[in-house]
A and B are shown apart, each in its own frame.
Chain A
């Protein structure tokens, strides 16, 4: 039977099931197939903090959303066009996000009276008409998978576990994905268990054939490759991109990277990634606690390495005192904060951008620290390189802000050539710089105000530094009032002066007549950009700018803010950037704030922007 193939320009699919159903793997594989097909894409994994939350309950549901298109897209999508629900709990947890007309593929085998009740339904939603506004595709996923694997010498449990591959096969048929990479992947993943590998491949093929031959699936869809700029692409999520950025920066600086870290969600994958790359001179140190992680990194920096520590909000709080020491010692150090919902333990696996003020001010004394933020998963690479540039050039700790959405979300990345990456000059001092062959550890560079970096092992430059206030130039202990005032102001001036090395802030204002500017930072870049496109498609003008540097701000920021009648600042916090802008520029910015643990929805932002625009 020749089935109809419809062309679509974009689709949002969400896979949802129990934490143990393998939904993240299923999503990852569909993403890989989609990436190699050449679509633009954006993903949003969403999972509970518990490793195996109670099976069959709403709180144990894990999901993976993928948005892919024949054009360039900026977000993982507001709402799924297609939901794959592996059990009643997965349906119930995600039903509220579905627009009318959405396709729902349900695993009917799991809709037993008991499971339906466990999910919190009063009656079976497949029978009570409550799904009438959706196109429900009822598929007995589990039993069909088990039947397809009858000939394999595996347990019933193992056969049932392959149902996610059946679902993946079915979706791969529906969207005309390539299948070779998944088959290769399964064979490699289960290389030590050939029977399991063969069974999973068989389940995957069975799902594909099920779509091809079952009358209920009458239509498949084609989404053409997106016309991206020429180049070599890969799919990447934020944590590995950040790790690669650190490695690349260290290589381009000729420094050995030392990561001191303590495991914490959602930052641990950076430790895992860097631990794989020792051949680049990368040392990874899993410390006894967050404080030792940053302490060891600072010790490595004192020794002439590139010290890095990675954590999330609660861990950053523990590191505060050592960050203050690094400010005082004026040594390079990169502190990566992969933000998550707070306060306290908060929402470990959900995203938020509420550590901005902690990064800027979470220390005793006047302790300025430069702050840079990544705006998309692949941008974590460039943000990391920029953080290293500032840290090394200005001899200072630098905050690099990412978040849970960037860490786990993914997108295609045009792989840069190594030669195109900037070089960084550590500029170690080798000879005495003071009178009579003495070494002055706090004699500063006139342009950057950076102090020299003299590394142990360099004869004649032996010196002592510490957290007590230091005399200008000599670095000796000093309690002199005027010296302290001078040193405090000088450290601030050094950080402020970084602005002179920054390019002008880019403002996207295609019509040039916008009266409203939307200013964001961090992972809101995608939703804000997608929302601005919607606003413009509706015939309205809006300008968009996005901050890479949160401290110092670019020099032209104040002038840009004053150019517009209204400035809207959407943030996944209660208005932290907004407060800074008001304080520094006396501009009455309009905040739009959510702390739901999820990225903004573009449609919702678009309505907010339209409201402000029509109000001007």
Chain B
């Protein structure tokens, strides 16, 4: 296609309100999605991209209504398919900033295959996975991140199947960027969005999000002022992983086995304390971090688990086009005639 005419606008002049639409937001009052929407709208000016170059693509579910509320280009697609649709868009239009908004059912159940392949393929996509551990829009069935034994309408005697750990799943799927944050912690959420936006390639951001109708308080342990510091492991690249009140807890590496674990009373100068390295090439490290937490949220790492450089699919694909063009100009007549022709004369 020919390039659209680019209007000169001072990008920095954009405000959060420029990203709001005239659509009435239709989430339940008190839903964690509101906080995420406000955080994203607040972050967007910082992205430094004109809003016509930003696209939000979503699937189906409560979170997937998100694009309607962003004054950018957007597509509310079908259940689970947003990563596939966004891959086609991002790889044919590498000039765009493409964001996928999805949920735990959309991304991990019906769309699990697309998520997995998007992560290994590493096109330039930012995937925001709103994880509320429940199906909201279909009114409260358990999801692939629900804890075992969950009592819901579809599992009156308790759910039977073990949940996914989305961070572990993403690392196993060769993700180049994996992070976790929380709907109510705006500063942390925006910090993670910033890191994701700066990452070239597919970024998966798991956002713990409260569904106050069907799974209220699911992440209360990480939100309540009395408990959050005890159970939240803040990950900051280059910093020792210490947490808890007075930083007495830490993630330590066992010198004998090399495995990592949480210890509750660690001396300030203990050499076993792990210094977080999000750029560690070995995914085993980030995977080990992801295994520190169980579904009960006791010890939950928050922040960027992994951020490594890897060639992006869209760039590689477009490089191949450039190489092919450099080798020879397109010649449609030559293509149609092919090699073996014969001529019939009158």
A residues contacting B by CB (< 8 A) are 32, 35-36, 38, 181, 225, 227-236, 244, 247-248, 251, 254-256, 258, 260, 277-281, 283, 285, 287-289, 291-292, 295-300, 302-305, 307, 321-322, 324-325, 329, 415-418, 426, 428, 430, 455-468, 476-477
Contact = CB atoms under 8 A, between A and B. Distances in A.
A303 B89 contact: yes
Interface string B54-85: 11110000000001101111111110010011
A174 B232 CA distance: 84
B319 to A, nearest CB: 10
Interface in B24-80: 50-57, 67-68, 70-78
B335 A233 contact: no
B225 interface: no
B93 interface: yes
Given A35-B342, A415-B336, A304 B1 contact: yes
17 contacts: A234-B341, A248-B332, A278-B323, A278-B324, A289-B113, A291-B81, A292-B84, A292-B117, A295-B77, A298-B85, A299-B90, A415-B337, A418-B336, A457-B96, A462-B52, A462-B72, A463-B73
B156 interface: no
A299 B336 contact: no
B343 A231 contact: yes
Contacts of B67: 464, 466
B300 interface: no
Contacts of A230: 344-346
Nearest to B117: A288
A417 B5 contact: no
A244 to B, nearest CB: 6
Nearest to A458: B4
Contact of A428 (B4, B50, B328, B337): B4
B91 interface: yes
A183 to B, nearest CB: 14
Given A299-B89, A418-B332, A455 B1 contact: yes
Interface residues of B, number: 69
B141 interface: no
A256 B56 CA distance: 22
Nearest to B334: A418
A234 B81 contact: no
B23 A295 contact: no
A288 B113 contact: yes
Given A247-B335, A299-B88, A325 B52 contact: no
Contacts of A287: 84, 117
Contacts of B344: 38, 225, 227-231, 233
- What secondary structure prevails in chain B residues at the interface with A? mixed
A307 B340 contact: no
B124 to A, nearest CB: 13
A285 B91 contact: yes
A255 B1 contact: yes
Contact of A35 (B68, B77, B78, B340): B340
B321 A283 contact: yes
B264 to A, nearest CB: 43
A433 to B, nearest CB: 15
Pick the 8 closest A-B CB pairs, nearest first: A466-B76, A296-B88, A299-B88, A295-B84, A292-B84, A299-B89, A464-B74, A278-B324
Contact of A456 (B52, B85, B116, B337): B52
Contacts of A325: 77-78
Contacts of B93: 300, 303-305, 456-457
Contacts of A297: 88
A302 B58 CA distance: 14
Interface in B298-336: 317, 320-321, 323-325, 327-330, 332-333, 335-336
B92 interface: yes
Interface in B238-288: none
A463 B74 contact: yes
B160 interface: no
A287 B330 CA distance: 26
A234 B335 contact: no
A428 B88 contact: no
A279 B321 contact: yes
Given A292-B84, A458-B52, A300 B92 contact: yes
Contacts of A292: 81, 84, 87, 113-114, 117
| Best-surrounded residue of B6, B68, B71 (most CB of chain A within 10 A) | B68
A416 B76 CA distance: 42
